[in-house]
Chain A
């Protein structure tokens, strides 16, 4: 999963939620003027051709590899879990 920034038109935008494997972050929607919008989403890079075919301009903010590396770094930086597990 990469983190994508998608520029598109008002007409195309609602249909993006039908794309399999694209997780749109709806709160990230930005009005760019002239009926253009920018929204971000998480998706494998294989989704990009489908987006471009629909007229979207796609910027890859983080590749899947970037995210994996980042998450590995965080996993080593965060505190270890509590020794005593919570009650169940």
Chain B
């Protein structure tokens, strides 16, 4: 079907989504390829994903998934719309325009939103620099069931795995089935966890699964789970987003426990099996004298995974607010548009704490995050779950009619969040995964090293930290750091080699270049402590 594409006015059935992906691959063959997974679902359905990119070579990959939970109607449809809009914009060179809309929340009067545009230049910048993978419907069997009348008010969460012969309920919660601490009775100190939270983090059997949290008979037992895992295992994914519903939240890893600095405290370390508490720091339920376990997530340069994960999440939140405000920076004073578009950013682990719930194992975002610890050459990976939608937009089963325009609004928010993430990805090219060579910006300062003869010298550490911690803290700074690196490494290896065997030249460079430079920078920036990492 050639564009323009009609607005989606009712939830798409799984076959319509597959047809839409196939159509995009046919219509935009140079930009978009569709891959059908070889394995089929329990009900025999095939499903597929798109790769959208202009160009080849090693580029950072972004993977976006939706429809893991069947009843969450909006994400697959928003991702199909997003793919269509990107492709049309790139091909035609026109901006993506999200039109003005009036949205009526269940809690109050209608709210008007101005049109919002995604610039064609932004779209081009993204597709020219990023490989975008969109897998909009992970759980087609579940969605088909959920959309088959009579539609259940709460909806269906799981896939449609048949019950075991001995009896039990249908289905597995795919977002408890991933191979990351799936066997939670090994990962956690389960008696402590249960005494704190009153229940286990998922269901171990399919019997009496009223909350639809059955984790499956074994890790990645489900084809749907294995499909997502295979993409995370084989593609150079540095950014992963799993779009869910509902609650207006942007959640970052870990979901297993709080984030920590100790590399020994890792899901990979069996020494902590049956000892992980799953409690937030300072929880009075933590036994006296016991060290609070926190899952390791480094914040060291150059990647600064922990702080950049928050930075990117905030960028997504801010872009959603800008989109709600027609593209302009939201005013300081709250407005109705802001009040109805304000996403909360936080770690996944303690999302459920106020309700009495603990951290959750076996989730897609944590599986994505874990890949960089299973294979350190994959660093960095930033993984998110977005809970789009809200009770005032009818919860799981949002309304596609206009008015009230709930899907339209959610669709705008998904566009905004993904735009922000993709702009970060496009602006901050990351190291491709092994076995690719190390990029120059992760190497030592060659002149300083040659001059001082010690890569750990405080002056060398200071200069490196300045580049990696302060300059790379923002996308603009990262671009500047990349530029400086390119200039610097265009001549420094040769200079370093030259002075390495010439003590007088080394002394001259040290006294006349390095020390004055470091002294001026320390004074100007007030960062006097180099410190060894």
Contacts and interface: CB of A to CB of B under 8 A. Distances in A.
A70 B395 CA distance: 13
Chain B interface bracket (under 10, 10 to 19, 20 to 34, 35 or more) = 35 or more
Which of the listed residues A1, A29, A59 has the most CB atoms from chain B within 10 Å of its own CB?
A: A29
Contacts of B244: 27
B351 A28 contact: no
Given A74-B10, A79-B16, A40 B395 contact: yes
Interface in A36-77: 37, 39-40, 42, 59, 61-62, 64, 67-68, 70-75, 77
28 contacts: A2-B153, A13-B356, A24-B355, A25-B396, A27-B246, A28-B247, A28-B391, A30-B247, A30-B344, A31-B344, A31-B354, A40-B391, A42-B153, A61-B106, A61-B107, A61-B391, A61-B392, A62-B106, A64-B153, A70-B397, A70-B399, A71-B153, A74-B397, A77-B10, A77-B400, A79-B16, A86-B41, A87-B44
B409 to A, nearest CB: 16
A75 B149 contact: yes
B129 interface: no
B249 A1 contact: no
B148 A81 contact: yes
Given A25-B395, A61-B392, A71-B153, A82 B355 contact: no
Interface of B: 9-13, 15-16, 40-41, 43-45, 106-107, 144, 147-151, 153-154, 198, 211, 244-247, 249, 344, 351-352, 354-357, 387, 390-392, 394-397, 399-401
A75 B391 CA distance: 21
Which of the listed residues B45, B144, B151, B245 has the most CB atoms from chain A within 10 Å of its own CB?
A: B151
B43 A26 contact: no
Given A23-B154, A86-B44, A88-B44, A29 B356 contact: no
B440 to A, nearest CB: 42
Interface of A: 1-3, 5, 10, 13-17, 23-31, 37, 39-40, 42, 59, 61-62, 64, 67-68, 70-75, 77-79, 81-82, 86-88
- List the 4 shortest-distance A-B pairs measured between CB atoms, nearest first: A14-B356, A87-B44, A40-B391, A1-B153
Which of the listed residues A23, A26, A64, A71 has the most CB atoms from chain B within 10 Å of its own CB?
A: A26
Contacts of A3: 106, 153, 391, 394-395
Given A14-B355, A16-B355, A25-B246, 11 more contacts: A5-B392, A13-B354, A27-B351, A28-B247, A61-B394, A62-B394, A71-B150, A71-B397, A72-B149, A79-B10, A79-B16
Contacts of A27: 244-247, 249, 351, 387
Nearest to A10: B354
Contact of B247 (A29, A67, A86): A29
A23 B45 CA distance: 30
A43 to B, nearest CB: 9
B249 to A, nearest CB: 7
Contact of B391 (A5, A73, A88): A5
A20 B400 CA distance: 31
A64 B154 CA distance: 11
B147 A78 contact: yes
A63 to B, nearest CB: 11
Contact of A82 (B13, B211, B354): B13
A28 B397 contact: no
B195 to A, nearest CB: 14
Contacts of A71: 149-151, 153, 397
Contacts of B246: 25, 27-28
Contacts of A72: 149
Contacts of B387: 27
A59 B392 CA distance: 11
Contacts of B147: 74, 78
Nearest to B211: A23
Nearest to B15: A82
Contacts of B43: 86, 88
